[in-house]
Amino acid sequence: MKRIAIVDYGMGNYHSVERALRYAAPDADIRLTGQPQAILAADRVVLPGQGAMGDCMRTLAQAGLHEVVLKVAATKPLLGVCVGEQMLFERSQEGPSSCLGLLPGEVRRFSGDCFEASAGAKRLKIPHMGWNAVKQTKTHPLWSGILDNAPFYFVHSYHVVAADPAVVVGQATYGAPFACAVAKDNIFAVQFHPEKSANDGLRLYRNFVDWNP
C-alpha cells in the first residue's frame, strides 16, 4: 500500500485535498500530517497551499517543515497544488517573499491592465476565479486519461513565470496565456485545484498515486 503524506503546515485546503485523494485512491494509505518523520517516510507527498505567500513560507518554517519539503523534493514524487505550486519557485511579488527555490522563476500578480480578448475589451477581474481550459503543452504521465483543454477550477491572483520554459507542461489563458502546470523530474505542480475539478481532477490525483518518475 502506497503511503501518501499531505503536508499540514496550517495554510492549505487540506481536508478537501484529503477527501479527493481518498476517493481517487482508496487503495492508498493517505495521511494529513505535520510530523516531519511521517512526511519523510511517505512514498509520495502533496504540498497544498492557500493565502498569502509570506504567511505560507513563514508557517512552513515555523512548523519545522521547510527543510523537510526540500528533502522530499530531492527524493520522492511531490505534487504542489495552488500556492503549493507557487512556493516551489525562487521568489514572489507577493510580500515580496523568497520561496523554496526548487524551480527557477518567480510568482507575479495578474496585471490590472489585462483585458479579455473579445469585443469590447472587457477588463478582467482579479482574482481569477472559476473554470478554465488547460492546454497540455507537453505530454506527462499525470495528464493520462485527461483530454487536452479539459476545464479545471482556479482561484488565484498570482501565477508562476518560469525562467525555464521547459518545465511548463500546462497553460491556461486569462487575458493572456500563463503557466498553470509545471513539472521537472519527480516534481509536478498545478495552479488549479484538482479537488474542485470534478472527474478530471480526481484522475490527476489518481495519476499522481500511480506515477513512478
Q: Which residues are catalytic?
A: 82, 193, 195
Are the C-beta atoms of 33 and 105 separated by less than 8 Å?
no
Are the C-beta atoms of 99 and 78 separated by less than 8 Å?
no
CA atoms of 107 and 86, how far apart (whole Å): 6
What's the number of CA atoms in the CB half-sphere (13 Å) around residue 8? 15
CA atoms of 20 and 193, how far apart (whole Å): 11
